[in-house]
Amino acid sequence: IVNLSKTAFYRMKRTRTSKAWMREHVNDTYVQLARKEGWRSRAAFKLIEMDDKDRLLRHGEVVVDLGATPGGWSQVAAKRVGDAGMVLALDLLEMEPIHNVDFIQGDFREDDVLKKLEEKLGGRRVGLVMSDMAPNMSGVPLVDQARIMHLAELGLEFSRAHLKPDGSFLVKVFQGVDYETFLRSMREVFKTVVVRKPDASRDRSAELYLLGRVLR
């Protein structure tokens, strides 16, 4: 009979889960393809697929990337808007420099960080706000969902204030508590709102992307 304390049991469970995740990650087709093509993360393929479908990243566009680190989405955006465009990226974590990407390290929830972002814009209207932000997970579903939706709401508020009239907002969300409420909020701000689930998003993941286009 093996008698494990609750702490030891959960540590073992996390370790097994972590090892399984690492095996899946290493063998992941998109992870391997990202390394081969020089993208910083497999998330680049999510944005590539959505942009190919919805034509979000236009040449010369101003783009704001919220929750940018490690930079997969910023890489794609910078390449597609070209040197005539502008990509402003923001994240709580440090990010290695990317050509044609202006990075701000800080917490989007803080007023002084938001002010820095607005100063960088210099009054220019944004063509696309994209948010792949995710909070530090507590492991408590209701708490984590509330934090995720709060970040989505902040992104929506920023978009309403800074997008061009025909601009777009692409945001990661998870189905659960407050999802329908947030979806209604999106529809109040944008003329069209669609749901996207790119192929590069893992099947077991509950993540979805909401795309709002053209301000009301």
The reply to whether 172 belongs to the active site is yes
Question: Residue type for 94, please?
Answer: E
Question: 8: buried, middle or exposed (CB in 10 Å: 19+, 13-18, 0-12)?
Answer: exposed
Cβ-Cβ contacts under 8 Å for 160 (sequence gap 6 or more)? 189, 215
Instruction: Report the alpha-carbon distance of residue 10 to residue 193 in Å, rounded.
Output: 41
Q: What is the largest CA-CA distance in the chain?
A: 68
| Pairing outcome for strands 163-174 and 207-215 | antiparallel
- Taking the C-alpha atoms of residue 178 and residue 143, their distance in angstroms, rounded to an integer, is 12
From 6, 13, 36, 172, active-site residue: 172
Q: Which residues are catalytic?
A: 172
